[in-house]
Amino acid sequence: MQTTTEYIVKLPYDLTPWQKQVKHDPHRFKVACAGRRTGKTQLALDILIENVATVPQALGWYVAPTYAMAKDIAWGLLKHNTADFFRAGIIRRYYDGDLTIEFLGNRYLQLKSGDKPDSLRGRGLSFLAIDEPANMERELWEEVLRPAIADRQAPVFFGGTPKGFNWFYDLYQMELKEPNDWKSFRVTTEGAELVSCDEIEKARRDMDERAFRQEFEASFEVFGGQVFPVFNREKHTAFFEFNPNLGFNIGMDFGWSAPTAVLFIQVDNKENVYVFDELGRRETPIQKMGELIRERKYERKLGIWPKEIKTFDPDLIYCDPAGDSKNEATGTSSIMELRNMGFKIRYKKHYPGVIQDRISLIRKWLQAGKLIIHGARCQNLIQAMEMYHYPDPKNDIYSELPLKDGVSDHWIDALGEFFINQFPIIKSEVRAL
Ligand SMILES: Nc1ncnc2c1ncn2[C@@H]1O[C@H](COP(=O)(O)OP(=O)(O)OP(=O)(O)O)[C@@H](O)[C@H]1O
Ligand SMILES: [Mg+2]
């Protein structure tokens, strides 16, 4: 007769509230974007130990950016934390040379490092923890580690501090694309309560403001100078419904190899601006763009009784004046084509300083908390708000014009065309006699 034995072993610490919340969240892929000294490594190891101790035939990996980090930080912590497992006989052996722990029942826990990718070729993982992904290459995850978790559909924990907008930022965004499988968490050093407020205040004084925000507030920062530093996902994005009692307008920037960017926007009677949808297409003729806009069926209540509901076009499309220049070959312009389809178009001739005016309008609305972007449908715009930045200063000369990076500038231009037409800036003129 076979009997199974249950062991109850306590780890020598209690998880902190944020660690518990992340550990018990049911998503398969969890991304903890957390400040320095918040307990990321400890949590990664905690989930790993539990997986290896409870899953039959477990093979769990912890991957750090370098071998030194795996050995000097994680191995010591791991051995210390699992000492009772060893005493209880659940751990059979520690292999210090291989940074491997053998648990009873042919189960293994291994520490690995990103600087030795060949040691990472393997299959059949039951769990994977990746520590500080921002310090590793994207390819390591996509080409090496992802295949290793596929056989057993292993869960994955990513824990790290941001490093500008690199691929860790894309991981952090995954919950918007695949909300059933992915979940992101953001934790500040102050919120994690492992470091004293005094220490944090000292760091705030000593560090560059942006570096402090990145390291202690787990914020994604652009180091060339963000155009909209006040933009904040918590404040400026939301999940809201289209309001059928209001019309909507469109802000549009024409493109070809870069996408044509279209933003769908409602404004309420307090001048709150809700960007509720976006549409971006590369290499798409303008007629097709018009059709795609019409395919999105927004329904509006008409003011007659009984209240009839009908789909409808945007009231106005605000766009880039360049769209009015005629194509030599066809004899028409983008704007003419849209008008021929029945859309109503408005645009403002560009004047010196129009870009700065558009930016200051957007800033004003952000500052007042009156610009709200749909958190799931408008990912391109959200990313652009965070990434749009000024070029690095040359010889201490700072540019007033943001960098045309070929991606974010189009979405911001589309938003800018909306603002400058919807809320025109009236400049007082001084007339010389
Ligand atoms: N739940 C906990 N209870 C008590 N101490 C903890 C807990 N979690 C972490 N610690 C301790 O806090 C310190 C920081 O933890 P850890 O190394 O896991 O943080 P980290 O976020 O990975 O830090 P770093 O940014 O330096 O990599 C360590 O000394 C660790 O032992
Ligand atoms: Mg760590």
What values do phi and psi take at 360, rounded to 5?
A: -70, -30
- For ligand 1, atom 2, name the residue with the nearest CA: 15
CATH homologous superfamily of 17-217: P-loop containing nucleotide triphosphate hydrolases (3.40.50.300)
* Residue spans per domain, the chain: 17-217, 237-422
Domain 237-422 has CATH 3.30.420.280: yes
Kindly report, residue by residue over 389-427, the tens digit of the pLDDT: 887 666 566 677 888 877 789 999 999 999 999 998 765
d(CA 309, CA 83): 67
Kindly report, residue by residue over 201-246, the tens digit of the pLDDT: 998 987 777 778 999 999 987 766 889 989 998 899 999 999 999 9
d(CA 288, CA 330): 16
Nearest CA among 142, 135, 176, 137 for reference residue 156: 142
Ligand with an atom nearest the CA of residue 37: 1
- For ligand 1, atom 8, name the residue with the nearest CA: 39
| Ligand 1, CB within 6 Å, residue ranges | 13, 15-16, 19, 36-42, 161, 194
Buried b / exposed e along 12-46 (16+ C-beta atoms within 10 A) = eeebbebbeebeeeebebbbbbbbbbbbbbbbbbb
Our mutation pick for probing the ligand 1 site, out of 10, 14, 33, 37, counting the most ligand atoms within 8 A of Cβ, is 37
Between the CA of 34 and the centroid of ligand 2 the distance, in Å, is 10
Q: Give the position, in ligand 1's atom list, of the atom nearest the Cα of 73.
A: 17
Between the CA of 70 and the centroid of ligand 2 the distance, in Å, is 10
Q: Which amino acid, one-letter code, is at 183?
A: K
| Per-10-residue mean pLDDT, the chain, length 433 | 64 95 98 97 97 96 94 95 94 96 96 87 92 91 94 97 87 91 97 95 83 91 81 92 94 92 97 97 94 91 78 92 84 94 93 87 95 94 91 67 83 97 70 48
